[in-house]
């Protein structure tokens, strides 16, 4: 997973968390988005996305992790 991809995922996760905890998004939609934000954050931390592996995608520059 490339650096830009990780930064975008962390940013999206932060925005979703802010919207959820400020009660702008609520209910089932809020919970689903919060779970997605957690997955985005986790995949950013471990620098690996299982969906990218399944579909053979990579956002890394050649030779870098």
Q: Residue 62: which pLDDT band, with cuts at 50, 70 and 90?
A: low
Mean pLDDT of the chain: 90
The percentage of the chain sitting over the pLDDT mark of 70, rounded to a whole number, equals: 94
Helices (H) and strands (E) in the chain, counts: 3, 0
Q: How many CB atoms lie within 10 A of CB 45?
A: 11
The answer to whether residues 58 and 64 touch, using CB atoms and an 8 Å cutoff, is no
Reduced 3-state DSSP string for 11-44: HHHHHHHHHHHCCCCCHHHHHHHHHHHHHHHHHH
Q: What is the pLDDT of residues 1-51, one digit of tens each?
A: 889 999 999 999 999 999 999 999 999 999 999 999 999 999 999 988 888
């Amino acid at each position: 997973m490339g650096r830009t991809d990780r930064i975008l995922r962390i940013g999206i996760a932060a925005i979703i968390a802010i919207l959820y905890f400020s009660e702008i998004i609520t209910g089932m939609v809020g919970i689903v988005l919060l779970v997605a934000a957690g997955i985005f954050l986790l995949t950013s931390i471990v620098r690996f996305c299982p969906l990218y592996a399944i579909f053979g995608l990579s956002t890394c520059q050649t030779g870098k992790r």
